Chain A
Amino acid sequence: MFNVAAVDVTKTFREGREIVTVLKGATLHLAPGEVLALEGPSGSGKTTLLSILGCLLSASGGTVEIAGHLVDAKKPAKLQALRRRHIGFVFQQFNLFPALSALENVEYALNLKGVTGNDATQQARELIERVGLADRARFLPRDLSGGQKQRVAIARALAASPSVVLADEPTANLDVNVAGQILDLFSELARSEGRSLLIVTHDPKVRRVADRVVRIEDGRIAA
């Protein structure tokens, strides 16, 4: 049983009169508790694959299953439900809501996932504590450092216990020491609860925490 099972996934885009094939039959599996690093040069299809696995983009061909559910691109409501229940995201640019405090950023994600009221506040507080930001819970993102922002983003990604966490270059905007701490925290939190963690990266430090490293080149998983 895999949390992510992508088989022979293809994706084509129309650019003017040309049809560009970005993914040419990518196959990828992630077991529960597994941390996978996905590396590849720019334009190799990393972000496209991540978008498809995150149910943000539909594949042109092949099949994708998330937590045992077949992803059907023709049913947008089902895609949204999959994102809501089973997927957490961490972004390179953090993508925190600037008007919300650290705690509220996490609480809002919980609200969207159906957790409301005191339960949401309590769970958000616990997540913020787990990423070591209890004393910064009421701070707005503009008052947090890059590492602290990424911790909030990790707490938000873990809201409502998704089966799969997808991270896009989570250490790209952090200094070396902070990046190491974030990766340790991130992988530990993922593994401890049996989540699958896919990290798209150029950063060689990610290899240290990854169970497996796969490379994507020219739209295909190379190794």
Chain B
Amino acid sequence: MVDLGLKTLLHDKVRFLITVSGVAFAVTLVLVQVGLFVGLLDNSTITIRKLDAELWVTSKNSPNLDFVHQFPESNLYRARSVPGVERADNLILSFMQVSLPTGAEETTIVYAMEDFQRWGIPWQVTQGKLDDLKRGAFVIFDESASKRFGKFEVGDYREVMGQRLKVSGKTREAKSFTTTPLAFMDFRRAQALQPELLEGKTSYIVVKVATGADVAVVKAELERRLPYNDVFTSQAWAERSRAYWVENTGIGFNAFLTVFLGCLVGVVVVAQTLYTSTMEHLKEFGTVKAIGGSNLDIYRMLGKQATVAAVVGFVLGYLPAQLLKPVIASAGLKLIIAPELTLVVLLGTVLLCLGSALISFRKVASIDPALVFRS
């Protein structure tokens, strides 16, 4: 079969290039913006996902992971006494000030536990040992802190809340939603640094449910025994935290707006070029009808042109988005382009391009067949 649609599309190379460039631009824009958005949301709950606990006991009505208030650390004993709890520990999460050698101050989010190792966080320790945290005034910073705190090495000292702590190790990928680097220290050390806020207090109790125990039953019992706290499964807590950022910070609306604008650019470019092309080829379409073709034959042709433009444009847009990953990472951000996102954007691109061809369909349907006889 002679493919008139494809040959016509590729015949005018400049027009084809303009069309696919428009689609590619829109695809890159959408992938990068949504990828950054997903990356930020991933940061916002990465500790929930990495920490080996099924249940999180939080202060009442806490909106998200980072914004909690403290409650008595002794609640831990009530949690540990619940049947089906394999183990439970206190976890402090608190914003602390770090004094830099330059005299400036920066903020870090401190995670403090008695035994990090058995909870699986931090998940990538690149230098030092977690056990060292118990042995004195030590702190482990994430590598990303060097961007804000300046270069630092294991063995350096930093002042946290006015007290000198020795940097005993480094982690990787431990960042918050706002890209504030995380720091890890011993539970009692953190309480000592902020006694007015943290003495006798904790931010969370994390709970590992015993094998064979029903998570829902354990959760219900924890809620009964700790009526002044909330209890979430780790998945529900992560969703609540992400929802907070999406709904309350405008980042969700911003991402939606960018996706909308990206789609609009793609639709306008494809619709405009397809329509112009259709107008210029009206006589050819009339000829197709005259020699036995139907409107359906022409719709198929236009549909194929739109689909090819969409797929080629998608590929040309997808590659730069992937190439931007290391550049974005060097800026301290995370670009996550999951297979699901790739598939959705590909399908969306094809559907929007086909939608753009609808204007041309209408024009073709109204062609005067006698057009073929005009000079």
Chain A interfacial positions (CB closer than 8 Å to B): 47-48, 50-51, 54, 56-57, 77, 80, 83-85, 88-89, 91-93, 95, 97-100, 104, 107-109, 111-113, 116-117, 120, 156, 159, 168
**Contact across chains for B369 and A109 when beta carbons are under 8 A apart:** no
A83 to B297, CA, bound (A): 14
Give a binary string over B236-255; 1 marks a CB under 8 Å from any A CB, 0 the rest: 00000000000000000000
Q: Are B292 and A56 closer than 8 Å at their CB atoms?
A: no
In the assembly, what is the distance between CA of A159 and CA of B287, in Å?
Answer: 14
In the complex, what residues of A have CB within 8 A of residue B294's CB?
A: 77, 80
Interface check B370, CB cutoff 8 A: yes
Judged by a CB distance under 8 angstroms, whether B216 is at the interface is no
Q: Which of B330-371 contact A (CB under 8 A)?
A: 369-370
A56 touches B372 (CB 8 A): yes
CB of B2 within 8 Å of the partner chain: yes
Take A50-B373, A95-B283, A97-B8 as given contacts and tell me if A89 and B290 are in contact as well, using a CB distance cutoff of 8 Å: yes
Q: Please tell me if the beta carbons of A168 and B7 are within 8 angstroms of each other in the complex.
A: no
Query: Complex Cα distance A100/B284, Å?
Result: 12
Q: Is the CB of A100 within 8 A of B4?
A: yes
Partner of B2, one of A47, A48, A92, A104: A104
Contact with A along B1-45 (1 / 0, CB 8 A): 110100110110000000000000000000000000000000000
Contact between chains at A92 and B373 (CB < 8 Å): yes
Give, as a whole number of angstroms, the nearest-CB distance from A77 to chain B. Answer: 8
Contact B370 A111 (CB under 8 A): no
Residues of A within 8 A of B292 (CB): 80, 83-85, 109, 112-113
Question: With A56-B372, A57-B369, A112-B297 given, is the CB distance from A156 to B291 under 8 Å?
Answer: yes
CB pair B297 A56 closer than 8 Å: no
Quick check: A47 and B373 within 8 Å, CB to CB? yes
Task: Report B's interface with A, CB cutoff 8 A.
Answer: 1-2, 4, 7-8, 10-11, 283-284, 286-294, 297, 369-370, 372-373, 375
Complex contacts, B286 vs chain A, CB 8 Å: 95
Q: Which of A47, A54, A85 is in CB contact (< 8 Å) with B290?
A: A54
Task: Report the nearest B residue to A98, measured CB to CB.
Answer: B11
Known A56-B370, A95-B283, A112-B288; 17 more pairs at CB < 8 Å: A54-B290, A83-B290, A83-B292, A85-B292, A88-B291, A89-B287, A92-B373, A97-B7, A97-B284, A98-B284, A99-B8, A107-B2, A108-B4, A109-B292, A112-B292, A113-B292, A159-B291
CB-CB nearest in chain A for B369 = A56
Q: What distance in Å separates the Cβ of B371 from its nearest Cβ neighbour in chain A?
A: 9
Tell me the interface secondary structure of chain B in the complex.
Answer: helix
Q: How far, in Å, is A160 (CB) from chain B's closest CB?
A: 8
Q: Tell me whether B372 and A112 are in contact (CB under 8 A).
A: no
B2, B10, B369: residue with the most chain A Cβ atoms closer than 10 Å: B2
Q: Which residues of A contact B369 (CB under 8 A)?
A: 51, 56-57
* Contacts A/B (CB < 8 Å), 22 sampled: A51-B370, A54-B290, A56-B290, A56-B369, A56-B370, A56-B372, A57-B370, A89-B372, A91-B372, A91-B373, A92-B373, A95-B286, A95-B372, A97-B7, A97-B8, A97-B284, A100-B2, A104-B2, A109-B291, A112-B288, A116-B1, A120-B1
Cβ 8 A contact of A97, one of B10, B287, B370, B373: B287
Q: Within the assembled complex, what's the spacing in Å between the Cα atoms of A165 and B366?
A: 25
Write the nearest CB–CB distance from B369 to chain A, whole angstroms. Answer: 4
Residues of B within 8 A of A50 (CB): 373
Chain B residues, Cβ within 8 Å of A92: 373, 375
Q: Which of chain B's residues have a CB closer than 8 A to the CB of A77? A: 294
- Residues from chain B with a CB closer than 8 A to the CB of A159 are 291
Q: How far apart are the CA atoms of A91 and B283 in the complex, in Å?
A: 11
**Nearest CB on B from A121, distance (A):** 9
Question: In the assembled complex, which residues on chain A have CB atoms less than 8 Å from the CB atom of B4?
Answer: 97, 99-100, 108
Question: In angstroms, how far is the closest chain A Cβ from the Cβ of B140?
Answer: 65
User: Once the chains are docked, how many angstroms separate the CA of A114 from the CA of B297?
Assistant: 12
- Which single residue of chain B is at the shortest CB-CB distance from A51? B370
Bound-state Cα–Cα, A70 to B370, Å: 20
Inside 8 A of A95's CB, which chain B residues have their CB? 283-284, 286-287, 290, 372
With A51-B370, A95-B283 as known contacts, state yes or no: A108 contacts B2, CB within 8 Å: yes
Do the beta carbons of B291 and A99 come within 8 Å of each other? no
Which of A77, A107, A109, A117 has most chain B Cβ within 10 Å? A109
Taking the closest CB of chain B, its distance from the CB of A58, in whole angstroms, is: 10
Q: Which residue of B lies closest to A57 (CB)?
A: B370
| A83 and B291 within 8 A (CB) | yes
Complex: chain A residue closest to B296, CB-CB: A80
| A-B pairs with lowest CB-CB distance, top 5 | A84-B292, A99-B11, A56-B369, A108-B2, A99-B7
Q: How far is the CB of A162 from chain B (nearest CB, A)?
A: 9
> Once the chains bind, are A51 and B291 in contact (CB under 8 Å)?
no
User: How many Å from the CB of B368 to the closest CB on chain A?
Assistant: 9
Closest to B297 in A: A112
A50 to B372, CA, bound (A): 11
Q: In the bound complex, how far is the Cα of B289 from the Cα of A50, in angstroms?
A: 15
